[in-house]
Structure 1
Amino acid sequence: MADLEAAKINHDNHLLLDQPCLRLPYELLRNNFRSVHYPFEWDSNAVKNAVKETANGLISGKTSAQDAVKSLDQMLGKMRGLKRKLAAAAEEEDRLYRQMDARVAHLRELANLNTVDDVKYEAWSRQRLDRLLVDYMLRHGYGSSAVALADERGMRDLVDIDTFATMSKIRQSLEKGSVQEALSWCNENKKELRKMQSNLEFMLRCQQYIEMMRTGSQTKMIDAINHAKKYITPFNDTYPVEVSHMAGLLAYRPDTKIEPYASLYSASRWQKLAETFSEAYLKLLNLPMTPLLHIALSSGLSALKTPACHSTPSSVQAQPEPEQSQHHINGANDGGDSATPTATPDAAAAQPQHHGTASLTTRICPVCSTELNELARSVRYAHHSKSRLLEHDLVLLPNGRVYGKARLEEYAAKSGLPQWQVKDLVTGEVFGVDGVRKVYVT
């Protein structure tokens, strides 16, 4: 029964990881509507007013026929430009709806699966892993590799290549020392950034001011003062300390060693600006700051991690008895007296002196593997309110391994051993029953 429950798919937990997959198209649809809503309202009102003025002018005789024709030509030009904007927005909307349909169908496949033993689940989980890999590569600047993988797997509509390509383009421009593209993006999303209380635009304006001051030119310094009056001074109530630092920068040259002005002139500020932009961009679209691959990997490592996974070989070998593990397994002798705390199978497997090789643990436990051990070091231990996998009659063998007593007796009988002996299911070692100790789980 426990195995059936463990194999059952928890759809709610799966959807926690896949929320951004569904949420992003809705956010992009909202942004797409907003990008054309105000221009449409503005241009349509302007055309209506122009038509009204032209008609009134013709009726009153104040407007000649030639002026009326010119006015109509201007109105037609505005309407053609508005039509192009609406056509581009309609194409973007169709693309986003196509993405939504593909992603809903992808998640519907999961809803039709009940257990991880279903043959279709492996194919579905493989596709999700590919999505997570594409997400990781897009976030870290491997755009061409991400596109190649998405095209190879035929899942363009399941990943957000265009969204992250835009972010990567603006981020790279900041790393190269240009704020123009980032400021244009801030202007397009000014209202949302204000609601988020983001300081991105303020930092970009400050960087413009710093670059003007860096030149040391008298003309540029005058421009910098005018720039500060227009873009920096209005933030005095919100960022008083930063504004005072900008004012103090007038007295210091780029080669100063005095803080905080030396840091303000530092080239590392461009990298900080790039990181601030990335955070604002992802937050605006309700995307997590951490790659989804890291979230999934951390969850899996946390569920498997025990203190034994990071025990050093020297510390394990120095103990005459196996150490106590995260599972709080305590051993006692047959007489009921308390004994030295004992270890889980993972801790026992980490003791090479019993089996002649230290690679057994790394083959069994992913957390102990060479590739993931260091990565899992900072991952928290999972909270287990109860264990479904522990047998009720656990016993500890002299080699530190823990098994169910019934399983050991059944295996010993199949191996033709006498009743006073048991055999390790993994290593094949034979022990007397007088050396087996009862294990209590607390």
Structure 2
Amino acid sequence: MADHEASKINHDNHLLLDQPCLRLPYELLRKNFRAAHLPFEKDSTSVKNLLKDTANGSLNGKASPQDVVKNLDQMLVKMRGLKRKLTAAAEEEDRLYRQMDARVAHLRELASLNTVDDVKYESWSRQRLDRLLVDYMLRHGYNASATALADERGMRDLVDIDTFVVLSKIRAALQSGSVQEALAWCGENKKELRRMPSNLEFMLRCQQYIEMMRTGSQSKMLEAINHAKKYITPFNDTYPVEVSNMAGLLAYRPDTALEPYASLYSASRWRRLADIFVEAHLNLLSLPTSPLLHIALSSGLSALKTPACHSRQSQADANDQLFSGSPEETTPRRKPATPSTPASPHPHPHHHHGTASLTTRVCPICSTELNALARNVRYAHHGKSRLLEHDLMLLPNGRVYGKARLDEYAAKSGLPADRVKDLTTGEVYSSDQLRKVFVT
């Protein structure tokens, strides 16, 4: 029963990780609708008013035939422009609906699976891993590699390449010292950024002001003052400290060592602006700020991690693997830590007096590759212990086993009835030395 429960797929937990997969097309559909709705309302109202004025002028005799023809040409030009905009919006909508259908089908396939032992689950989980890898590469700017992997696996509709390509271009522009692309993006999403709220546009305007002040020319300083009056001073109630610092910048040159003005002139502000933009962009689309691969890896490490994974014995095992030389080497590169066995009632395979190979074979967290990575990961929350043996007994060496298994192993080893034997180390103890373990 315990094995069956452990292999059963928890569909709700899977969907927690795959929420952005479904959410992003929906958010982009909303954005596409807003982008098409505004020009439609504006152009259609303009055409209606012009048609009404032309008809009234023609009936009243105030408009000549040439004026009527000219107005009709203007209306045709506006309608053709509106048609092009609506056609582009319709094509984008079709692409997003295609993405949604593909992603729903992908998650529906998971809903038809019940256990991880199903052969179909392996292929499905492999495809999900490919999605997480593409997401990771896109977030770090490896757009070409991400696109190649998505095309090779045939899952372009399951990943968000176009969205992250736009993000990468604007981030790269900020890192190279240009705010124009980011300001244009802020203009397209002004209402949404105001609701979040986000200080991205304010920070970009401050950076424009700083770059004007950096030149030191009189004309640029006057331009900077006018820029501050228009774009920075209105935020005095919201960001009083920042506005005050911008005003104080008038009295300091770029080579000043006085804070906070030295930091304002620092080139590291461009990296900070890029980070602020990425955070605002992801929050606007309801995407997590961390790569999905990190979230999945953290949850996996947390599920496997135990307090014994970072005990002194475990660390000594990791050091043995990491710093011990090859068989041809006569001197180790670093002296390994002295093994010690903590007295812990936790049933963990680390507490042995053998080599490090047994530890790292049994527990992935104790391996050299994952031990340091899992150090700051939280322990998993377990509502109940499914694989805990009945009637646990604590041996003097700190290892814990079920009493039935100890008795069975002692009988097979030919020991007297009052003796037990450690299943891992082979140490023999008297039954009087055992202590009963209670788990709450």
After TM superposition, the score normalised by the length of structure 2 is 0.89
Query: C-alpha root-mean-square deviation of aligned residues, in Å?
Result: 2.2
Q: Is the 8 A contact 1:323 1:347 kept in 2?
A: no
- Which residue in 1 is equivalent to 2:214? 214
- Of residues 33-42 and 297-306 in structure 1, the stretch that sits farther from structure 2 once superposed is 297-306
Deviation at 1:289, TM superposition (A): 0.8
- Which residue in 2 is equivalent to 1:84? 84
Amino acid at match of 1:441: F
- Which residue in 2 is equivalent to 1:441? 438
Deviations 1:53-79 (A, max 9, x none): 111122222222222222221221111
- Number of residue pairs the alignment of both structures matches: 418
- Which residue in 2 is equivalent to 1:166? 166
Q: Is the 8 A contact 1:304 1:367 kept in 2?
A: yes
5+ residue gaps, structure 1: 330-342
- Which residue in 2 is equivalent to 1:431? 428
Q: Is the 8 A contact 1:398 1:431 kept in 2?
A: no
Amino acid at match of 1:346: P
Deviation at 1:27, TM superposition (A): 0.3
Deviations 1:255-313 (A, max 9, x none): 11111111111100000000000110000001111111111111111122122211234
- Which residue in 1 is equivalent to 2:293? 293
- Which residue in 2 is equivalent to 1:322? 342
Deviation at 1:416, TM superposition (A): 6.4
Q: Distance in 2 between matches of 1:32 and 1:345?
A: 54
Q: Is the 8 A contact 1:309 1:346 kept in 2?
A: no
- Which residue in 2 is equivalent to 1:385? 383
Report the CA distance shift for 1:423/1:147 in structure 2 as closer, same or farther (over 3 A).
farther
- Which residue in 1 is equivalent to 2:109? 109
- Which residue in 2 is equivalent to 1:249? 249
Deviation at 1:175, TM superposition (A): 0.4
Report the CA distance shift for 1:108/1:426 in structure 2 as closer, same or farther (over 3 A).
farther
Within 5 A, what are the aligned runs for 1:140-159?
140-159=140-159
- Which residue in 2 is equivalent to 1:54? 54
Q: Is the 8 A contact 2:313 2:340 kept in 1?
A: no
- Which residue in 1 is equivalent to 2:201? 201
Report the CA distance shift for 1:227/1:68 in structure 2 as closer, same or farther (over 3 A).
same
Deviation at 1:321, TM superposition (A): 5.7
Q: Distance in 1 between matches of 2:26 and 2:281?
A: 16
- Of residues 90-99 and 143-152 in structure 1, the stretch that sits farther from structure 2 once superposed is 143-152
- Of residues 76-85 and 399-408 in structure 1, the stretch that sits farther from structure 2 once superposed is 399-408
- Which residue in 2 is equivalent to 1:402? 400
What secondary structure, in the 3-state scheme, does the structure 1 residue paired with 2:349 have? helix
- Which residue in 2 is equivalent to 1:361? 359
What secondary structure, in the 3-state scheme, does the structure 2 residue paired with 1:197 have? coil
What secondary structure, in the 3-state scheme, does the structure 1 residue paired with 2:246 have? helix
Amino acid at match of 1:97: Y
Q: Distance in 1 between matches of 2:415 and 2:343?
A: 31
- Which residue in 1 is equivalent to 2:325? none
5+ residue gaps, structure 2: 317-336
Deviations 1:4-47 (A, max 9, x none): 11111111111111111111110000000000101100000001
- Which residue in 2 is equivalent to 1:9? 9
Amino acid at match of 1:283: N
Q: Is the 8 A contact 1:397 1:435 kept in 2?
A: no
What secondary structure, in the 3-state scheme, does the structure 2 residue paired with 1:403 have? strand
Amino acid at match of 1:114: N
Within 5 A, what are the aligned runs for 1:166-185?
166-185=166-185
Deviations 1:193-241 (A, max 9, x none): 0011111000101111111111111111111111111111111111111
Q: Is the 8 A contact 2:314 2:366 kept in 1?
A: no
- Of residues 393-402 and 252-261 in structure 1, the stretch that sits farther from structure 2 once superposed is 393-402
Q: Percent identity?
A: 76
Q: Distance in 2 between matches of 1:387 and 1:366?
A: 20
Is residue 349 of structure 2 the alignment partner of residue 346 of structure 1? yes
Q: Distance in 2 between matches of 1:386 and 1:200?
A: 46
